[in-house]
Every structure is written in structure tokens, then in C-alpha cells.
Amino acid sequence: MPIRKIIHVDMDCFYAAVETKHRPELRGKPVGIGGPAQSRSVLCTANYEARKFKVKAAMPTSMALRLCPGLILIPPHFELYKEESRAVHEIFSRFTSKIEPLSLDEAYLDVTDCTAMSGSATLIAKEIRRLIQQERHLTASAGISINKFVAKVASDWNKPNGQFVVKPEEVGGFVKELVVEKIFGVGPVTAKKMHSLGLMTCADIQSQSLLQMTRWFGARGIELKNLAQGIDTRPVESGSERKSLTVEETFPVDLPGLEQGLQAIPALYQSWAERMRTNAGLGEIRGFVVKVKYFDFKTMTHEMASPSWPSIQDFKKLLSEVWTRRSDPIRLIGLGVRLGKPLNSENLDLDLDLNMNLNLFARTS
Ligand code: TTP
Ligand code: MG
């Protein structure tokens, strides 16, 4: 396979930037997007002026106002964000058709075969950012490298309004320094397990044998070791045939009862919600599912058809139902969703819902 050229583009403080663009009097002032403090809502995002006060996405509005009393609070206008997202997507499409949207404000582009800007991914990213600024009066940051994982991490390096290139020969050194939380698919559950095993950075994983990694993480150990070495072969996909997205956890000691099983759900849910957000081209939700593997390795699953984003409570209910069918020590719990037809770029509502639901989750946790 030739060396790929992957760009990850991420708009800067997206919702806040769109709002300030329409209201120039807000420029230079701290702005947060979200509902009022009395409604116990949380912020969708905040601009960089507000971030100086440690105000950030998913923070309760009341806390944000305590940190930054001058914070200007604006309710979200999703139609505006969708419109900008489409326009930015159209700019991407002038360079390549291999575009994988991750959410309204983020996408991967595969520009390996692109001939614009003499085929330089660095210059293509620069040009895309210039066009976004010129045509939409918004800024974006970009990461450029040989795969999705490294490009995504790199897009945060010179944020806001900057870009960062990790050349092929620099990939190994770049990933070494990263904390394990940066690895694609590593949510709080896996990160906690890694920490307990003394794995704090990708370098720590690099120094483990493949055998050790598979002992600790099963088949997933291979993928984790690869990523920790900067190896990521996932293609940039404009649509996905993914049929489900689930996460699972094998417990160090079997859980003796339903109560302990129910207690394990929130952390799994958070990990799953993260995977939903970081996965591209997701289909529509068709239903949700819980899987239980018992001490004797026998597995039972239970699922419910539903088009909407499941809650922690939904998964708890399914687990309780599995438990009524078989009440034995639990070795593993998995949870997730069944997915249907893929979204296309004109239908980004789900991504929007994902963000909103993450906020809901943040509120209830
Ligand atoms: P992000 O790209 O994570 O954040 P951002 O664009 O606001 O800021 P950054 O400059 O760091 O990229 O998310 C994009 C949009 O998604 C964000 O503007 C609002 C929305 N969002 C939520 O609604 N809830 C959340 O918890 C997060 C993280 C984002
Ligand atoms: Mg962003």
C-alpha cells in the first residue's frame, strides 16, 4: 500500500464561532453555547476567550458562570450549524470525494490521489483552511499524517486556527509521547484498566509484547498495540456498512450479582458514547443490545428495537431482563446499538444528536 495522505479537519469552537460570526458585538468576549443555568443544562461548547477561565464543553452552565461571571450565554441554533457544516463539506469536496464526516465540525479526508497543490497534503490542508476562512468566516485546524489516528491527534496540536504535520518518519516518535487516552477507541474503562497495569503512554504499550497485550486485552490487544506504534490501516470511508457499535468489558473478577452488573453499566455507557462520537459514517440507530457472558463462557444477549439513542436506564433494564433468564456470576458485559442505513453528508442529524446526548449524559452522571 502506498503511503497515504490523510487530513483531519476540526472547526474551532464550532457552535460558538458560528454564533459570534452572526453577532460581531460578541467578538473578543467569552461566549458559551447552552441553556440557562436554572435549567440544569450543560454547555455544548465555549469560545477560546471563555476557555481561559477553564470553561469547557459538557460543563454545567451554573459552574461555567461561577468560573466566568461575564460569560455570555447563547442557546444553540442547530440549523445554522448544519448549514455551515454543509458549506464546509462542499469545500472539502473540491479536493477529494473521500470524505468521512465524524460530526458536524470534523472530518477525515484522504488526499492520497489528489493532484491539487502539487499533491502536497500540507498545502491542501492550508488551502482548505484558507477557503473556510475566506468563504465562511470561520477558522479550522488540521492534522496531516499517514493515517486517521495520527492525523486526528495532530489536529489538536496547533489549535485554534493552525495545523500540524506528522511526516511518515516522525510517526513513531510522535505517538510515543501520547497518553493512552489519546488512542482511538480507548475510553475511560480501558484507560483505567491500562493505568492499573502501569500503561500510561503509548511508549509503555510499545514495550509490551503482543502476547502480553492479548493476555490483557484479548483480540483487541493487537489493535491497541498497533495503534500505540502509530499503525492504523482504517480507510477513510464516506459511508459505512457497520451493523452495530458495541463495547464490552471483561471483569478482572466475575461479578456475583445483578447489583454489581448494574453498577458497571454507567462506565460502559460512557465508553460506548465516546466510541459513537469518534466513529465515522454511522448508520441510523435501529435498536440497542446487552450481552452477558457468564463465568462458564456461555453468552446471552437481549435487545430492543428502537430508533432513538438509548439511555443508561435502557441498558440497565435489558441487563435486568437477561438476569431474570439466568442469574449466575458475570464474566463480561457488552452494550451498544444495532445500526441501519448509513448517513450521508446531507443527513448529519445523528451526529448532532450524539453531541446533544453526550451533554445529557454529562448532566446525569
Ligand atoms: P468539538 O470539535 O469537540 O469542539 P469545538 O469545535 O467547540 O472546539 P474545538 O476548537 O476544541 O474543536 O465539538 C464540535 C461541536 O460539537 C461543538 O462546537 C459543540 C458540539 N459539542 C456538544 O454539543 N457537546 C459536547 O460535549 C462537545 C464536546 C461538543
Ligand atoms: Mg471542533
Residues 34 and 52 occupy one common structural domain: yes
Quote the ligand 2 centre to 204 CA distance (angstroms): 29
359 or 206: which carries more pLDDT confidence?
Answer: 206
- Helix H or strand E encompassing 254: strand 244-255
Give the pLDDT band (50/70/90) at residue 279.
low
Q: What is the pLDDT of residue 364?
A: 28
Query: Domain holding 201: CATH number?
Result: 1.10.150.20
Q: Taking 90 as the threshold, does the pLDDT of residue 214 lie above it?
A: yes
Q: Taking 50 as the threshold, does the pLDDT of residue 344 lie above it?
A: no
Q: How far apart are CA 73 and CA 29, in angstroms?
A: 11
Active site residues: 106
Q: Taking 80 as the threshold, does the pLDDT of residue 215 lie above it?
A: yes
Residues 183 and 157 occupy one common structural domain: no
Residues 20 and 110 occupy one common structural domain: yes
Q: What is the pLDDT of residue 84?
A: 94
**Torsion from C-alpha of 119, 121, 126, 129, nearest 10 degrees:** 110
CB of 247 within 8 A of CB of 275? yes
How many CA atoms, within 13 angstroms, populate the side-chain half-sphere of residue 30?
Answer: 16
Residues 223 and 311 occupy one common structural domain: no
The percent of residues in the chain predicted with pLDDT above 70, rounded, is 90
* Protein residue whose Cα sits closest to atom 28 of ligand 1: 57
Which of 105, 156, 354, 360 maximizes ligand 1 atoms within 8 Å of its Cβ, making it the mutation to test the pocket?
105
- Helix H or strand E encompassing 31: strand 31-34
Residues 13 and 161 occupy one common structural domain: yes
Q: Taking 90 as the threshold, does the pLDDT of residue 308 lie above it?
A: no
Q: What is the pLDDT of residue 218?
A: 87
CB of 322 within 8 A of CB of 302? yes
CB 109 near ligand 1, within 6 Å = no
- In the sheet with 299-305, reading across from the earlier edge strand, the strands are 244-255, 330-342, 283-294, 299-305
Total Cβ atoms within 10 A of residue 229? 15
CB 49 near ligand 1, within 6 Å = no
Q: Which of 138, 166, 194 is the last residue of a domain?
A: 166
Which whole number is the average pLDDT over 44-57? 96
Residues 130 and 179 occupy one common structural domain: no
**Ligand number with the minimum distance to the CA of 277:** 1
CB 361 near ligand 1, within 6 Å = no
Which of 355, 357, 359, 360 maximizes ligand 1 atoms within 8 Å of its Cβ, making it the mutation to test the pocket?
355
In a domain, 355, yes or no: no
**Torsion from C-alpha of 56, 60, 63, 67, nearest 10 degrees:** 20
Quote the ligand 1 centre to 106 CA distance (angstroms): 9
Residues 153 and 8 occupy one common structural domain: yes
CB 105 near ligand 1, within 6 Å = yes
Q: What is the pLDDT of residue 239?
A: 59
In a domain, 365, yes or no: no
Which structural domain range is residue 319 located in?
244-340
CB of 150 within 8 A of CB of 175? yes
In a domain, 79, yes or no: yes
Q: Taking 90 as the threshold, does the pLDDT of residue 313 lie above it?
A: yes
Q: Report the amino acid identity of residue 2.
A: P
In a domain, 141, yes or no: yes
Quote the ligand 1 centre to 356 CA distance (angstroms): 10
CB 44 near ligand 1, within 6 Å = yes
Give the CA distances from residue 246 to residues 75, 108, 282, 289, in Å, rounded to whole numbers and listed in that order: 32, 22, 12, 8
Q: How far apart are CA 184 and CA 72, in angstroms?
A: 34
Lowest mean pLDDT among 21-30, 203-212, 232-241, 244-253: 232-241
Give the 3-state secondary structure of residue 269: helix
Q: Report the amino acid identity of residue 246.
A: T
Q: What is the pLDDT of residue 64?
A: 95
Residues 303 and 329 occupy one common structural domain: yes
Quote the ligand 1 centre to 45 CA distance (angstroms): 5
Which whole number is the average pLDDT over 203-231? 94
Which whole number is the average pLDDT over 240-248? 74
Which grid coordinates are listed for 290? 446487552
Give the pLDDT band (50/70/90) at residue 280.
low
